[in-house]
Amino acid sequence: MTWTQHDRLLALKSRLPRTWTPFFARHGNLTPVQQQTIPPILDGKNTLVIAATASGKTEAAIAPLLERYCLGPVQRQKGIRSPHRLHILYICPTRALVRDLYERLRGPFAALDVSLTMKSGDTGPVSPRNPPTVLITTPESTDSLLTRAPRLLTQLQAIVLDEIHLFDGGPRGDHLRCLLQRIEIVRAYHQKQATTEAVPLQRIALSATVLDPEGVAERYLKSQAFDGIPTAPPETVAVAGKRKLDATIASMTDLDDLAAALTERVRSGAGIRKTLVFCNTRNEVEQAAAFLRAYLGYDAAVFAHYSNLDQALRLEVERDFAVAPVAVCVSTSTLELGIDIGSIDDVALIGPPPSLQSFLQRIGRGGRRTGITRVLCMARSRLEDAQFQALIALADGTAGREGVSFLPSVLIQQTFSILKQSPTGAIRLPDLRRVAPVSFDDEILRSILGHLSRLDFLRAGRLGEWRPGPALDELVDAHEIYSNIGSAPLR
């Protein structure tokens, strides 16, 4: 007997008895990434999911996690699902994406009677007495949660890392690796005290662009074994969804060139109505948006979007741009992510982005309706022209990533955070050892602690212990210990 695609869909639908209706019924089908991702997550496997933006990755992760940990008959029978336990942590790179995902998911969650909360610098604290079943947050807010209320994480069962490529290879990625290890330690201690079976945290990572899938899976999805318990190797789901790339490089001496190029493209007959323009700085965004409002050669609404905008204004810009019939939105990297702004016909880049991954993410916002990604690359120098040519040549994904190192400064921040979390108010070498990568031996860790002591961030306590020094007390009082050197605090 040969299974048809319809048979496979029905079989998979039967494994989603509660989440099918709120998440998928209105579409009547599952996208390719959902068909491939849902089974391994339902089976409890750590999974890296690589698929195009707007392919349904979020639903492919959250629906099976809800079935497995919150809604199944075993959970109801054993009382595992409790209104006072946090079961799933969903980590995003920005506050804007935290809010956007919350708005997208709260309808299906309400239909399922599952509590959902978001936590970032734009929101209030999470209640330790009445935590949500699912929390959407950032790494920095997760760090704050670990120091202030680690008990909330003792019964956590799964964690989702969204837009993992924006973390990997930088201080926030190293920070995230340490946080994952600390959460595992908190859970393992609780399980040991409760004499329950030690079960590793299920980890899911999502991205549209990952140049080193094996490395990312190794760094974020492979938990260290506790008490000799082995962990299964991560599974990777990569779904092809590549659109044809139609890239043009044009010279730009001033903003007149940008306005003229955008006008020409709209009048070319290619059906371009919505254009997303990326800049690398906030000042560039403001200057370009102001100029286009005054001198764009066709009638269009022009918007500006960047992280420092007031939350309500950011939401208004996203909503108005999505519904405008003809519009241009000028943005920093804030709109690289999966925030819902409707269909984009054309993407323009003022100067090359800082990395290939950022380039792929930006151009990936366009062409979903037509299957053709139109990109206008505005080069302000011969160097930028060469950089654009290299990025376009590499956009087929054939380039790999060189070895990713771990930044020692992250261990400085983690030392401060672990001290804040410690019930004894002290840190020992083994505490830092448990979150540090194996490439950092004990001599390196002692040198970090010694250096912090000389700078008055730490002081000697009992034998083998370090306690907060006066310089660290000032940082704690200012709430400046949750984000890393070299990364913007996004609590």
Given a contact cutoff of 8 angstroms between Cβ atoms, the answer to whether 208 and 60 are in contact is no
* pLDDT-based confidence at residue 15 (cuts at 50, 70, 90): very high
Q: Are 248 and 376 in contact (CB under 8 A)?
A: yes
> Which residue do the tokens 């979007």 mark?
305
* 339: three-class secondary structure by DSSP: coil
Q: Which two tokens stand for residue 399?
A: 């380039």
Rounded mean pLDDT, 341-346: 86
Q: Is the dihedral of CA 407, 412, 416, 419 positive or negative?
A: positive
- Residue type (1 letter), 471: A
User: Which of 351, 359, 190, 217 lies closest to 284, judged by CA?
Assistant: 351
Nearest-angstrom CA–CA distance, 251 and 372: 23
- Binned at pLDDT 50, 70 and 90, residue 490 comes out as very low
Q: Taking the alpha carbons of 370, 166, 487, 384 in that order, is the dihedral positive or negative?
A: negative
Q: Which CATH class is domain 244-394?
A: alpha beta
Average pLDDT over every residue of 262-290: 93
List the single range of 6-10, 365-369, 371-375 with lowest mean pLDDT.
Answer: 365-369
Task: Measure the CA–CA gap between 358 and 349, rounded to whole angstroms.
Answer: 11
Tokens of 384: 């930028």
Kindly state the average pLDDT of the residues 444-456.
91
Assess whether pLDDT exceeds 90 at residue 264.
yes
Residue 394 in contact with residue 352, Cβ under 8 Å? no
Radius of gyration of the chain (CA): 24
Neighbouring CB atoms inside 10 A of 439's CB total 8
Segments making up each domain of the chain, as ranges: 5-238, 244-394, 408-477
289-322 in b/e form (b: 16+ CB < 10 A) is bebbeeebeeebebbbbbeebeeeebbebbeebe
Quickly state the pLDDT bin for 261 (edges 50, 70, 90).
very high
Of 9-13, 68-72, 109-113, 230-234, which gets the smallest average pLDDT?
A: 230-234
pLDDT at 427 over 70: yes
Helix (H, G, I), strand (E, B) or coil at 232: coil
Predicted TM-score of the model (pTM): 0.79
Q: What is the pLDDT of residue 333?
A: 87
Tokens 């000028």 belong to residue: 330
Average pLDDT over residues 48-61: 89
Predicted confidence at residue 95, as pLDDT, reads 84
Give the residue-averaged pLDDT of 41-56: 90
pLDDT score of 364: 81
pLDDT at position 240: 67
Check whether 53 has a pLDDT greater than 80: no
**Model confidence over 179-214: pLDDT tens digits?**
999 999 999 888 888 777 777 899 999 998 787 889
Which of the residue ranges 5-9, 150-154, 198-202, 268-272 would you say has the lowest mean pLDDT?
5-9
The fold for domain 408-477 equals: Arc Repressor Mutant, subunit A (1.10.10)
Return the ∠ at Cα 101 (arms to 281 and 30), rounded to 5°: 120
User: Hey, what are 70's tokens?
Assistant: 């919150």
* CATH class name, domain 5-238: alpha beta
Can 5-238 and 244-394 be said to share one CATH topology? Answer: yes
Residue-wise pLDDT for 307-336, tens only, equals 888 878 988 999 999 999 999 999 998 888
Tens of pLDDT, residues 111-160 = 999 999 999 877 778 888 889 999 999 999 999 999 989 999 999 999 99
What is the DSSP code string of 399-465?
---PPPP--HHHHHHHHHHHHHH-TTS-EEHHHHHTTS-TTS-HHHHHHHHHHHHHTTSEEE-STTE
How high is the mean pLDDT of the chain? 86
Per-residue model confidence as pLDDT tens digits over 148-185: 899 999 999 999 999 998 888 888 999 999 999 999 99
Q: How far apart are CA 102 and CA 117, in angstroms?
A: 7
pLDDT of residue 217: 93
Question: Rounded CA gap, 22 and 475, in Å?
Answer: 45
Put residue 271 in one of left, alpha, beta given phi > 0 → left and psi -120 to 50 → alpha. left
